[in-house]
Structure 1
Amino acid sequence: MPSESARPPPPKAAAVVSVHALSGGHFSLPEYQFVHPVSRDARRTVPSLAFLIQHSNQITGKQTRIVFDLGLRRDVKRYAPPIQKHVETRQPMTTDPDVTKSLANGGLAANDIDYVIYSHVHWDHIGEPRDFPTSTFIVGHGALALLDGTSSSLRGGHSFFESDLLPEGRTVELSEPSPHALKRNDSRTAPGEINFNGSWQAYGGLPQVLDLFNDGSLLIVDAPGHLPGHINLLARLSDDHQVYMAGDACHDRRLLTGEKTIGEWNDVHGHVCCIHADRKQAEQTIERIRVLEKDGVEIIFAHDVEWENNPANKARFFGACSE
């Protein structure tokens, strides 16, 4: 019988994060612009979900708080005029509670948030950055070019961007995901330490991910198709529970089931419009998400009205247990 000192140490528990949903407002969508086939008159009220992710370093105990997306802007009059015009087509809309109020429901202030990660820079995800005066903002590669000027290659009233959206000196744009990129030496980053400059690598069926804390607990996932710089998050909540925050990779659960396909429409000039900048890439991203779901990963997209309306998920909103 081996002595106590000779026994191998118990296996170390896998690093995990906690994930809570944050309400970021609600608005109305014309379904034909998102799914096909569907009645031209069909509309659906959907949430603009954000998420609070909290990570604790297993070695140092350091706590890192991240908010993924900021939902709708509390005062829609603070959007740029072209976006305000587009907002008129998304009524009825509610912006109370917004993300800051949702954080306050659980006892956190905006100053408690270390990082704000944007899935992308469309108007219904950017919220009010000035509410987070101490946070560092993270965007996917290509997002800054969009903010420098509205792209003429993108059609639709949703494709306007604010050049002054992000704070100078507190914004990080991720490197370009590329299968041909030289692998950087990430060994200097200890497990549990956050690093936005790591190497993009394959993970399972996902071709490009960044291991944000170098411990497998939170991955940034390149999710091309919807908009340049579009990224998702894959979080490990426990040994047997992963949650994938899909942003706008998918707008309707019927796209995951295959009941519907991505919608298209003609603008006033007769040009074909799609909510995704690159439909083919968007379809490939949706297929990868579909595989994840079949493998048991929980999928939540930003406008996931079915997830929000599921009574079992009410307690998963930040602060719900203390109300």
Structure 2
Amino acid sequence: MSSDDSHARSEHPATATVSVHALSCGHFSLPEYQFVHPVSQEARRTVPSLAFYIQHLHPDTSKQTRIVFDLGLRKDVKRYAQPIQRHIKTRQPMTTNPDVIQSLASGGLQPEDIDYVIYSHVHWDHIGEPRDFPTSTFVVGHGAHSLLNGTSSSLRGGHSFFESDLLPEGRAIELSDPLVQTLEKHNSSTAAGDINFEGSWRAHGALPQTLDLFNDGSLLVVNAPGHLPGHINLLARTSDNRQIYMAGDACHDRRLLTGEKTIGEWNDAQGHVCCIHSDRKQAEETIERIRKLEKEGVEIILAHDIEWESDPANRTRFFGAGIG
């Protein structure tokens, strides 16, 4: 990640890059058995809720496009709906300080500076407080609207409650279905460096469906099915010759990437088998693709990546680190 947003500049679309900074957006505690197996029923770990600030600089016009990927935990948990407030009681200890607003402010930005908020998915610990971003356009993966409208009711667990009024009216985009071939005219009408959420989904290496947001290879939206309908990841290319994969909740624990653990399951009060992922098979396939990326040298950062956050080498990679 670059410490200078000007590093996003590129003289040629083939080498276009973005700058990427982590944003600290609270911490909460997880019962490990709901995420990995085998593990003690009593084991818990406190994890971060990470978001990311991404800046793209147009190579010809120097136009800046500022994106935040996920908003983390909501500062005032009483602003969550009652079902989520009840669920939060199982996720203690929790802290919402700093939240995404404070983390952006540490680098000198206000919510009004953010052009787009892209959600990896619409679970409570990623959505933050949309009303804090009064001018941003919100972007969600295909299927998120159905969840928010209550038309996908098969999901179980206290975490699977969704707010129908989450997205601001008139400032929300749902991406097209990545499994349906889109018209090539969308991409052909967009110059390199201009953002376009209506482009064609294309394969990129081992990733079968990706969307090139700026038509220059600097930032790809990746379809990452399994965890929740509409779950998407981002793959960024930065000026320091890194590829950074922001994995959202495709994987909650690095031991799943190493193969040390498998995805956890548990029985609810009614005896139903529950899984943190809506489609375990698809989740396993997504994890395998991410595992291949890591072997190819791509840096993988999970949304709840306690190992990444705890690494002293990454302290300067948070937005605002070293400023002042």
**If the length of structure 1 is used for normalisation, what is the TM-score?**
0.95
Instruction: Name the counterpart of 1:79.
Output: 80
Instruction: Name the counterpart of 2:226.
Output: 225
CA 1:190–1:155: 2 relative to 1, 3 Å = same
1:60 maps to 2:47: no
Instruction: Name the counterpart of 2:294.
Output: 293
Instruction: Name the counterpart of 1:95.
Output: 96
CA 1:22–1:185: 2 relative to 1, 3 Å = closer
CA 1:113–1:11: 2 relative to 1, 3 Å = closer
Q: Within 5 Å, which residues of 2 pair with 1:16-35?
A: 16-35=17-36
**For structure 2, which runs of at least 5 residues remain unmatched after alignment?**
1-10
Q: Which amino acid aligns with 1:168?
A: E
Does structure 1 retain, via aligned residues, the 8 Å contact 2:139–2:173? yes
Q: Which amino acid aligns with 2:209?
A: Q
Deviation at 1:76, TM superposition (A): 0.2
Deviation at 1:185, TM superposition (A): 4.2
Instruction: Name the counterpart of 1:277.
Output: 278
Instruction: Name the counterpart of 1:248.
Output: 249
| Separation (CA, whole Å) in 2 of partners of 1:184 and 1:272 | 45
Per-residue Cα deviation, 1:248-290 (whole angstroms, up to 9, x for no partner): 0000000000000000000000000000000000000000000
| Separation (CA, whole Å) in 1 of partners of 2:21 and 2:219 | 14
| Separation (CA, whole Å) in 2 of partners of 1:140 and 1:17 | 21
Instruction: Name the counterpart of 2:110.
Output: 109
> Secondary structure at 2:15's aligned position in 1?
coil
Instruction: Name the counterpart of 1:140.
Output: 141
> Secondary structure at 1:89's aligned position in 2?
helix
Structure whose alpha-carbon radius of gyration is higher: 1
How many equivalent residue pairs? 314
Does structure 2 retain, via aligned residues, the 8 Å contact 1:14–1:239? no
Does structure 2 retain, via aligned residues, the 8 Å contact 1:150–1:161? no
Deviation at 1:184, TM superposition (A): 3.9
| Separation (CA, whole Å) in 2 of partners of 1:222 and 1:307 | 23
Instruction: Name the counterpart of 1:49.
Output: 50
Deviation at 1:181, TM superposition (A): 4.5
Q: Which amino acid aligns with 1:36?
A: H
Does structure 2 retain, via aligned residues, the 8 Å contact 1:36–1:262? yes
> Secondary structure at 1:141's aligned position in 2?
coil
Deviation at 1:321, TM superposition (A): 1.6
Per-residue Cα deviation, 1:21-58 (whole angstroms, up to 9, x for no partner): 00110000000000000000000000000000000000
Deviation at 1:187, TM superposition (A): 1.3
CA 1:60–1:255: 2 relative to 1, 3 Å = same
| Separation (CA, whole Å) in 2 of partners of 1:305 and 1:263 | 18
Q: Within 5 Å, which residues of 2 pair with 1:200-215?
A: 200-215=201-216
| Separation (CA, whole Å) in 2 of partners of 1:21 and 1:285 | 23
Deviation at 1:13, TM superposition (A): 6.6
Instruction: Name the counterpart of 1:316.
Output: 317
Instruction: Name the counterpart of 1:6.
Output: none
Q: Which amino acid aligns with 1:251?
A: H
Q: Which amino acid aligns with 1:44?
A: R
Does structure 2 retain, via aligned residues, the 8 Å contact 1:315–1:321? yes
Per-residue Cα deviation, 1:123-176 (whole angstroms, up to 9, x for no partner): 000000000000000000000110001733101110000001110000000000
**For structure 1, which runs of at least 5 residues remain unmatched after alignment?**
1-9
